[in-house]
Chain A
Amino acid sequence: MSFSSHYSILLVAVPLAFAALCPIVGMWKRELCFPFSVAGAAAACFFIFSLWGKVISKGVVSYTPGGWKPPLGIQIRIDYVGLFMASIIGAVGLAVLVYSWRYVSRELDAEKIPYYYTLYMLLFASMLGFVVTGDIFNMFVFMEIFSISSYALVAITGQRRAVRAAFKYLLMGATSSVMVLLGIAFLYSTVGSLNMEDIAGRLAMGGYTSVASIALVLFLIGFAVKAALFPVHIWLPDAHSIAPSPISAVLSALVIKMGVLGILRIFFTVYTPGFAGIEGTWTALLQAIAWCAAISIVLASIMAIIQRDFKVMIAYSSIAHIGYILLGICMLTDKGLTGGLYNILAHALGKGCFFLVAGIIIYKHDLRRITSLRGLGRSMPVTAGAFAVASLSIVGLPPSAGFIAKWYILWGCLQKQHYVFMVMVLLGSLLSAIYCFRVVYYMFFVGSHSAEIDEGPATMIVPAASFAAATLFFGIFATLVLPSLSSAAQALLAG
């Protein structure tokens, strides 16, 4: 076997190893932690993007560490959705890591910096593990790793309110993890397997209806908390707004999407759409998610409008966008799924940019209130410009990635004739226009005209600006991604 056939395990193992070695490097020389982590993340990115060719030609790349065949051995199973998510994690994770450098060296105590990079790499590696694994228990383990590292990262500053927010996050997160674990236990006790495809096959033989239904409900609630879907979103505004800004960006752009992926895996891989026996429960639960998602969109957008704190506003907007993603998915049509998945990309870039911009503003001026952002368009044109461009995508205006996502989500709703959802999606856009443009307004159209240009450091501006540019790029050259996403959607719908 050639080296390249091991890429699927290396993309998880390498960053994990770097995470383990990071404290040791930090003990030796603290400044080396940053380049060391960047090297690890870059290597993971290389492995991820090299896998695209294989996935496009084969559909699924399967890898069994040590040669133990599933269902006994652990299986790494990389399909379109998994690799799509992994690519987003890789690219966004690397960019935010670069951004972190200047931010944490100012905001954190020097002795905490190695821990920061260790936790960051752990978060990065475990998310990658989560999206590529084909084993449901393995998935749970990775979920716990990324959850615990996010709790720690939220609290890393050690401020009182940071600890409190992290604790709230921990309480909800731990409960949801227990639910997922319970669901896995229920399945395992009856079906006797932990491999997702294998479970699907055994479930399809029938006879497990009641236990399978209970497990499904447990999974749903568990992952809905991780995804911060209404009404179990209450941990998100605190945790995302109080965390250090690069961490907010990662939490918002990536970590909550893991909950979405969990729902996708459970509903489409483990319990396949055509699964006999509990179609009733399956459909009813998806309907419930769709309604929760639609309510999320409207309610969270309204909440975002009434916020005064810049980062809390952005955090509420994330809840709304999780709503778009799940709404698209719950339409159960290829277009709706494509739109939901595309919004994962669009939101990762747009919201990543928002939080990075918020971070630059905090880094330079320590401003958090929206009304205090006046005149920043003059003194920090690139930062404020990046925000303005990204807000096009968050609102869903053309030509941006968010528009393509909304277009497909609306198309999906139309395929199922859900006119109410269409109206709610458009209403959500209008509300998001209010909260985004309010910030743009304060940045560009209020305040003094004679301010000197005073930008943040380049390592912070470049990631933020490239996210903004990427939202436009994927809005215009959507055909680069769309075919893969349609294949992903079709594969998911086929089970």
Chain B
Amino acid sequence: MLWNRRRPGLAKVVYIGSTVATILAILPLYPRALDGAITTQRLVSIAPRISLAFRVDTVGFYFALLLGVLWLLCSIYSLGYIQKNETRYYCFLSLNLSFCLGVALSANMFTLFIFYELMTLFTYPLIIHEETEQARKAGLKYLVYSVSAGAVIMLGLILQYYYGGTLSFLGHGTLKLSQVGKPILLTIFSIYMLGFGVKACIMPLHGWVPDAHPAAPAPASALLSGVILKVGIFGIIRVMFDVFGIELLKTLGVALPMLIVASFSIIVGSLFALTQDELKRRLAYSSVAQVAYIVLGLFLLAPDGAIGGLLHIAHHAFMKGCLFLAAGVIIHETGKKKVSEMSGIGSRIPLTMAAFAVGALGMMGIPLTCGFITKWFLGLGTIQAHHPCFIAVLLISSLLNAVYFLPIVYVAFFKGESPEGESRLLRRETKRSMLVPVMICAGMIIILGVFVTVKGFPYSLVEVVVKAVF
């Protein structure tokens, strides 16, 4: 539909229009989602007991809404940022939105897998959009990781189908310990974690992330980090809540190993981030660490931990969105990619760097930012789950976040010679289409950190989800 090479302008209009329409289509579902009601729609039956079906439940709605909002912000930003091959870019961007929504609103593991694989494949053109040598290599690495992961998930899918008898999400676990037996359940669980863990970049499987993020154009990396990684997390959520069920996971005793893996990701990811000089690489490693927060929260298997983990999906999306988009402005306006070159850019692009600072503070979990809310609930969760030692992980991580983010802010504002005159300060900072999304993201970090319990904000939805599951 959008494949009209001669008129990229038209493509843009159609594309932005369709994104807005998508959000508008999602919104009316809100009251039902808040009630915890489930709407299921079967589209086509592919094979006996396997169908392409959709369902709107609270967690799916939460995820879909987040997708819509972040996609819109990144698309507006793209209008200013993307300058070549626009039609291809917007075409794949909108295809990816629909596939991600497909994942969020799927009613069974089969549908989820179909959209998951499509999304995996169609993200590739976004990563290699710049068509540089670096981008090609990153794209290849991404494909190798993700396609292998796809095969692994398929293995899990067929095992689940064979032993569990159904792939549908029923709101509770469909695999039963008494019918299947512990060794096979553990196998299925590890296969799923291995498969979804690649996209969710759990530590030993994160290899593609630090290459793919810097290679992609800034709005695409914001989306990659903000939501596409979360699609992997979403897969894990479905596996936890709808395939196994919390009770079964507790019996299987898989929580502690997963917590250790997540903590490892958090600490080592942050340490890696510390050593990177390229800004976007640093952000990418930070994503590895931050996404592991979500895994940590979920696998505490305690209500507060789950709230923290689920909230962090939205919180991290806005924080990392803000940081990546700001990094995009830096590259676009000053051409600087490395942290060591950034002295004094605060006076050149003050608003962007202010937003960057807000994002950095959020990452550290300073009160009044949404990062604090996450950490608060995660902390409560560790106590609730009787694993208080993991608080230490959170604290160390905050510290490391401070160490690798604050110097950027510091050198940007307080170091280096000031620009050579008033005239430069008066110049427009950057294109408005790029500045506005950055500022909105920064605003959201504060708003989500202050007005936590307002209806319609993540907390109200997450609470419903967690109540239903625990």
| Residue positions of A touching B, CB distance < 8 A | 381, 397-399, 404, 406-408, 410-411, 414-415, 422, 426-427, 429-430, 433, 437, 444-445, 449, 475-479, 482
**Which residues from A are CB-within-8-Å of B39?**
none
The 4 A-B residue pairs with the shortest CB-CB distance, nearest first, are A398-B114, A426-B151, A410-B158, A433-B147
Residue of B nearest to A483 (CB): B48
Decide: B114 and A449 in contact? CB cutoff 8 A: no
Neighbour of B151 across the interface among A407, A408, A414, A430, CB < 8 A:
A430
Decide: A430 and B44 in contact? CB cutoff 8 A: no
Decide: A476 and B147 in contact? CB cutoff 8 A: no
**Which residues from A are CB-within-8-Å of B85?**
449
Q: How far is the CB of A447 from chain B (nearest CB, A)?
A: 10
Decide: B151 and A411 in contact? CB cutoff 8 A: no
Report the bound CA distance from A381 to B4 in whole Å. 12
Residue of B nearest to A407 (CB): B158
**Which residues from A are CB-within-8-Å of B159?**
414
Interface residue? B125 (CB, 8 A): yes
Residue of B nearest to A411 (CB): B158
Residue of A nearest to B50 (CB): A407
Interface residue? B46 (CB, 8 A): yes
Decide: A411 and B162 in contact? CB cutoff 8 A: yes
**Which residues from A are CB-within-8-Å of B383?**
none
Q: How far is the CB of B120 from chain A (nearest CB, A)?
A: 9
Decide: B46 and A476 in contact? CB cutoff 8 A: yes
Decide: B47 and A482 in contact? CB cutoff 8 A: yes
Decide: B47 and A399 in contact? CB cutoff 8 A: no
Q: How far is the CB of A203 from chain B (nearest CB, A)?
A: 35
Report the bound CA distance from A429 to B148 in whole Å. 9
| Residue positions of B touching A, CB distance < 8 A | 3, 44-48, 52, 84-85, 110, 113-114, 117-118, 121, 125, 128, 131, 136, 139, 143, 147-148, 150-152, 154-155, 158-159, 161-162
Interface centre among B45, B121, B148, B158 (most CB of A within 10 A): B158
Report the bound CA distance from A479 to B148 in whole Å. 28
Q: How far is the CB of B88 from chain A (nearest CB, A)?
A: 9
The secondary structure that dominates the B interface is: helix
Residue of A nearest to B154 (CB): A426
**Which residues from A are CB-within-8-Å of B148?**
430
Say yes or no: A397-B121 contact (C-beta < 8 A), given A430-B147, A430-B148.
Answer: yes
Decide: A445 and B155 in contact? CB cutoff 8 A: no
Q: How far is the CB of A2 from chain B (nearest CB, A)?
A: 36
Q: How far is the CB of B205 from chain A (nearest CB, A)?
A: 16
**Which residues from B are CB-within-8-Å of A475?**
46
**Which residues from B are CB-within-8-Å of A444?**
125
**Which residues from A are CB-within-8-Å of B136?**
445
**Which residues from B are CB-within-8-Å of A437?**
143, 147
Decide: A476 and B162 in contact? CB cutoff 8 A: no
Decide: A477 and B44 in contact? CB cutoff 8 A: yes
**Which residues from B are CB-within-8-Å of A415?**
162
Residue of A nearest to B163 (CB): A414
**Which residues from A are CB-within-8-Å of B118?**
398-399
Report the bound CA distance from A429 to B131 in whole Å. 27
Report the bound CA distance from A478 to B51 in whole Å. 10
Q: How far is the CB of A429 from chain B (nearest CB, A)?
A: 5
Report the bound CA distance from A476 to B110 in whole Å. 12
Neighbour of B131 across the interface among A397, A445, A476, A478, CB < 8 A:
A445
Report the bound CA distance from A478 to B151 in whole Å. 21
Interface centre among A381, A407, A411 (most CB of B within 10 A): A407
Say yes or no: A397-B117 contact (C-beta < 8 A), given A433-B147, A476-B44.
Answer: yes
Report the bound CA distance from A429 to B149 in whole Å. 12
Residue of A nearest to B52 (CB): A476
Neighbour of A398 across the interface among B117, B143, B155, CB < 8 A:
B117
Report the bound CA distance from A411 to B154 in whole Å. 11
Decide: A397 and B150 in contact? CB cutoff 8 A: yes
Decide: B47 and A404 in contact? CB cutoff 8 A: yes
**Which residues from B are CB-within-8-Å of A476?**
44, 46, 52
Q: How far is the CB of B156 from chain A (nearest CB, A)?
A: 11
Neighbour of A426 across the interface among B45, B139, B155, CB < 8 A:
B155
**Which residues from A are CB-within-8-Å of B121?**
397
Report the bound CA distance from A456 to B307 in whole Å. 57
Decide: B151 and A399 in contact? CB cutoff 8 A: no
Decide: B131 and A414 in contact? CB cutoff 8 A: no
**Which residues from A are CB-within-8-Å of B48?**
479, 482
**Which residues from B are CB-within-8-Å of A477?**
44, 46
Interface centre among A381, A422, A427, A445 (most CB of B within 10 A): A445
Report the bound CA distance from A398 to B46 in whole Å. 11
Q: List 14 A-B contacts (CB under 8 A).
A: A397-B150, A398-B114, A407-B154, A410-B154, A411-B161, A426-B154, A426-B155, A429-B154, A430-B148, A437-B147, A444-B125, A475-B46, A476-B44, A478-B46
**Which residues from A are CB-within-8-Å of B139?**
445
Interface centre among A398, A406, A407, A437 (most CB of B within 10 A): A398
**Which residues from A are CB-within-8-Å of B128?**
445
Decide: B154 and A479 in contact? CB cutoff 8 A: no
Q: How far is the CB of B408 from chain A (nearest CB, A)?
A: 33
Report the bound CA distance from A476 to B44 in whole Å. 8
Given contacts A422-B158, A427-B151, 4 further A-B contacts (CB under 8 A): A433-B147, A445-B125, A445-B131, A476-B52
**Which residues from A are CB-within-8-Å of B125?**
444-445
Q: How far is the CB of A313 from chain B (nearest CB, A)?
A: 18
Q: How far is the CB of B262 from chain A (nearest CB, A)?
A: 27
Report the bound CA distance from A204 to B121 in whole Å. 53
